[in-house]
Amino acid sequence: MKTPEPIQPPQRSINMLQGCRSVDEFERMNKIDEGTYGVVYRAKDKKTGIEKAFHLHVKEVVVGSSLDSIFMVMEYMEHDLKGLMETMKQPFSQSEVKCLMMQLLEGVKYLHDNWVLHRDLKTSNILLNNRGELKICDFIIPPVWQPFEALHSFSGYVMVQVAPELLLGAKEYSTAIDMWSLGCIMAELLAKEPLFNGKTEFDQLDKIFRILGTPNEKIWPGFPKLPGVKVNFVKQPYNKLREKFPPTSFSGRPTLSEAGFDLLNKLLTYDPEKRIAAEDALNHEWFREVPLPKSKSFMPTFPAQHAHDRRLRRVMKSPDPLKEQRMKELQQGEIGTGSLFS
pLDDT tens-place string over residues 256-303: 999 999 999 999 999 999 999 999 999 999 999 999 999 999 999 888
Indicate which residue of 33, 80, 120, 178 is catalytic.
120
Q: What is the C-alpha to C-alpha distance for residues 12 and 28, in angstroms, rounded to an integer?
A: 36
**Domain residue ranges in the chain:** 26-76+306-337, 80-298
For the chain, the first-to-last Cα distance in angstroms comes to 66
Structurally, what CATH architecture does the domain formed by 80-298 represent?
Answer: Orthogonal Bundle (1.10)
Tell me, letter by letter, the H, E, C secondary structure of the chain.
CCCCCCCCCCCCCCCCCCCCEEHHHEEEEEEEEEECCEEEEEEEECCCCCEEEEECCCCEEEECCCCCCEEEEEECCCEEHHHHHHHCCCCCCHHHHHHHHHHHHHHHHHHHHCCCCCCCCCHHHEEECCCCCEEECCCCCCCCCCCCECCCCCCCCCHHHCCHHHHCCCCECCCHHHHHHHHHHHHHHHHCCCCCCCCCHHHHHHHHHHHHCCCCCCCCCCHHHCHHHHCCCCCCCCCCHHHHCCCCCCCCCCCCCHHHHHHHHHHCCCCCCCCCCHHHHHCCHHHHCCCCCCCHHHCCCCCCCCHHHHHHHHHHCCCCHHHHHHHHHHHCCCCCCCHHHC
**Contact present, 168 and 208 (Cβ < 8 Å):** no
User: Which range (44-48, 168-172, 216-220, 257-261) has the least confidence?
Assistant: 44-48
Q: Which pLDDT belongs to residue 331?
A: 54
| pLDDT of res. 251 | 84
Q: Estimate the crossing angle of helix 176-191 against helix 94-113, to 10 degrees.
A: 170
Q: How far apart are CA 112 and CA 277, in angstroms?
A: 9
pLDDT score at 305? 57
Report the alpha-carbon distance of residue 75 to residue 27 in Å, rounded.
14
**pLDDT (tens digit, 9 = 90+) per residue, 6-61?**
545 444 433 444 556 676 777 877 777 665 556 777 777 777 776 655 443 234 54
Please determine whether the domains at 26-76+306-337 and 80-298 fall in the same fold group of CATH: no
120 given a catalytic annotation: yes
CA distance 29 to 140: 26
Of 18 and 98, the structure prediction assigns the larger pLDDT to 98
List the beta bridge partners of residue 136.
126
pTM of the model: 0.74
User: What is the architecture of the domain spanning 26-76+306-337?
Assistant: 2-Layer Sandwich (3.30)
How many other C-beta atoms are found inside a 10 Å radius of the C-beta of residue 41?
25
Q: Which residues contact 307 (CB under 8 A, 6 or more apart)?
A: 32, 33, 34
Task: For residues 3 and 107, give the distance between their C-alpha atoms in angstroms, rounded to a whole number.
Answer: 55
Q: Which of 42-56, 176-190, 204-218 has the lowest mean pLDDT?
A: 42-56
Nearest-angstrom CA–CA distance, 252 and 263: 21
